[in-house]
Chain A
Amino acid sequence: MIRVAIQKKLGAFTLDVSFDSGAGVTALYGVSGAGKTSIVNAIAGLMRPDAGRIELDGVTVFDSTTRIFLPPERRGIGYVFQEDRLFPHLSVRRNLTYGRRRPGENLPQPSFDSVVDLLGLAPLLERLPHRLSGGEKQRVAIGRAVLSRPRLLLMDEPLANLDTARRGEILPFLERLCRDLSLPIVYVSHAIEEITRLADTLIVLDRGTVVAAGPVPAITARLDLSPLIDRGDAGTVLVGTIESHDTRYHLTTVAFDGGRLVVPAVGGPVGAALRLRIQARDVAIATSVPTGISTLNCLPGVISELGTGRQAHRDVQVNVGVPILARLTQRSISELGLEPGRQVTVLIKSVAVEITDRSPD
């Protein structure tokens, strides 16, 4: 459990944020300059806020009124930076074990072997950092932070300096890490796709303040955050459980709060938790229940909100039990007379549903 309430003036920019975060992955999201890195630096003890308080698992690590400021080495925090920051003169093995001597705290900790295994580092152990690729370096940096027995892991855009291919290489490792370790993580990113794959809780920052905070599905479905969240890739995150498998057609039925979705076959036992993502542009809306249509998923719902937009399209939020975003042309919206309160049917092609195998807590 981490509680943050801090103010800091940095030139013309003022950071003034307050939030709590618990288990799982909490994403700090915002455009560059929103104050994300300043917040994690304050949590880590690398930046001293002007005022406020930071509490970690009940331990006050910063309090401006009582003048408490624990130095970074005594905060029990793991920090994965944008750059790998590996120690160039030490082998991968010695980089990984550098933080292992952290004294005092008796925290449950992953073993060296399990982390090496999780991050696929076994073949790299005896190498020096300069003989690693960018993606390998970042994996070592992640392992090093995890192995320092932190109470909390901070990750400041760990994928930002990698190209798309390397990013694709690391994301699965990150997903396994988030799933397998019972370690709270604060994950900074300005890429909504990373957040929808990794995070449980989303905190949206804008110009130094928190504008929204809550579970990822609820926040990503909010239309009022459109200007802040990258809408080029707008979509809804749904959390559900496997209800049944159809081996004949290789399909899986997933139950979620808004009903059932049929999706391409997913591995996993009945009852297993799943996370789905549906891009807004893959969702269609009908004003009556259609027949003779290939789309397997037809969910009844009520239009809850119309997004604004001057372009060809607008995002429409439909409540089917949970909010789902649909991206429609302005023309369709006006020809069908769509407006909040209208009963509609949401059409989602099964093949368009993205499945991330991470099971949320």
Chain B
Amino acid sequence: MLSPLEVEIVLLSLRVGFWAVLVGLPIAIAAAWLLARTSFPGKAVVDGVLHLPLVVPPVIVGYTLLVLLGRQGVIGAFLDNVFGISFAFNWKGAAVASGVMAFPLMVRAIRLSIEAIDRRIETAARTLGASPLRVFATITLPLALPGILSGTVLAFARSLGEFGATITFVSNIPGETRTLPLAVFSLMQVPGTEAAILRLVLISIAIALAALVVSEYLSRRVAARIRGTPS
């Protein structure tokens, strides 16, 4: 069915997307909660900065990451020297680029679902002896689950499609940073690869559709449990 090269590309893409979402999710939930439930000076600025990856050109995001996290970058040099962690030109860097680009999508979806929760229910939990942390874990988080699920899938799909920031930050290295879109781009540079490109395009579409179907199914089940709409 799939050639070994195609399998490698797909697995790499899934790994990049998986880690981008997994690491981004807790941060996105925290950010969404802060934006939905608290007010602090400079909130509008924070809100704006979080949304920047949605509006600035991906190349700019990739370049910024290169400056910050590259081997000579301010943070990158520190991480490399102290912890031996490097994001330069490897799949971890690709995951960072994808995660940063997908982050605003996750925050938006989760924030909306937190804002939709009736705060009076959280207050009731407080009067029943629950600390704010327990309220968050037992009330806010489960009730925000539909938004968390859809935000996660959206971000995962966005990660699989990430191109500009990735190629700018970690380049296009076969087996390391060459995810699906980068592989398509590479093949387009070579004449006579239309069939190979078509196969990758179809694989892309299949993965994206599968993710959407799964998320839709999960959201419906969760929503049905909470709101009582028939599942």
Query: By the criterion CB–CB under 8 Å, are A46 and B226 in contact?
Result: no
Complex interface: chain A residues within 8 A of B213 (CB)? none
> A85 interface residue, CB < 8 Å from B?
yes
- Taken together as a complex, chains A and B put the C-alpha atoms of A45 and B120 apart, in Å, by 14
Q: Within 8 Å of chain B (Cβ to Cβ): is A73?
A: yes
* Among listed B97-105, B124-132, B195-203, interface-contacting one: B124-132
Q: Are B143 and A144 in contact (CB under 8 A)?
A: no
Q: Closest CB-CB distance, B11 to chain A, in whole Å?
A: 36
Contact with A along B123-150 (1 / 0, CB 8 A): 1111111110000001100110000000
Is there contact, CB below 8 Å, between B226 and A88? yes
Residues of B within 8 A of A88 (CB): 121, 143, 226-228
Return the chain B residue nearest A78 by Cβ: B127
Chain A-chain B contacts (Cβ-Cβ < 8 Å), number: 66
* Pair A81/B120 contact, Cβ less than 8 Å: yes
Contact of B226 among A72, A74, A89 (CB under 8 A): A89
Q: How far is the CB of A93 from chain B (nearest CB, A)?
A: 15
Chain A residue with Cβ nearest B123: A46
Contact pick for A73, options B118, B127, B228, CB 8 Å: B127
The count of chain B contact residues (Cβ–Cβ below 8 Å) is: 20
Those of A52-82 within 8 Å (CB) of chain B: 71-74, 76-79, 81
B225–A99 touching, CB < 8 Å: no
A85 and B124 in contact, given A73-B131, A101-B129 (Cβ under 8 angstroms) = yes
A98 and B128 within 8 A (CB): yes
Assess whether A148 is in contact with B226, with CB atoms less than 8 Å apart.
Answer: no
Residues of A within 8 A of B130 (CB): 73, 98-99
Number of chain A residues whose Cβ lies closer than 8 Å to a Cβ of chain B: 29
Residue of B nearest to A85 (CB): B124
Q: Known: A87-B121, A87-B139. Is A72-B127 also a contact (CB below 8 A)? A: yes
Report the Cα distance A337→B123, complex, angstroms.
58
Contact between chains at A73 and B126 (CB < 8 Å): yes
CB-CB contacts below 8 Å: B209-228 with A: 225-228
With an 8 A cutoff between CB atoms, is A331 at the interface? no
Interface, chain A (partner B; CB < 8 A) = 44-46, 71-74, 76-79, 81, 83, 85-89, 98-99, 101-103, 128, 130-131, 144-145, 148
What is the interface of chain B, defined by CB distance below 8 A to chain A?
Answer: 118, 120-121, 123-131, 138-139, 142-143, 225-228
Among all A-B residue pairs, the 8 with the closest Cβ atoms: A130-B228, A99-B128, A102-B129, A85-B124, A79-B127, A72-B126, A148-B128, A89-B226
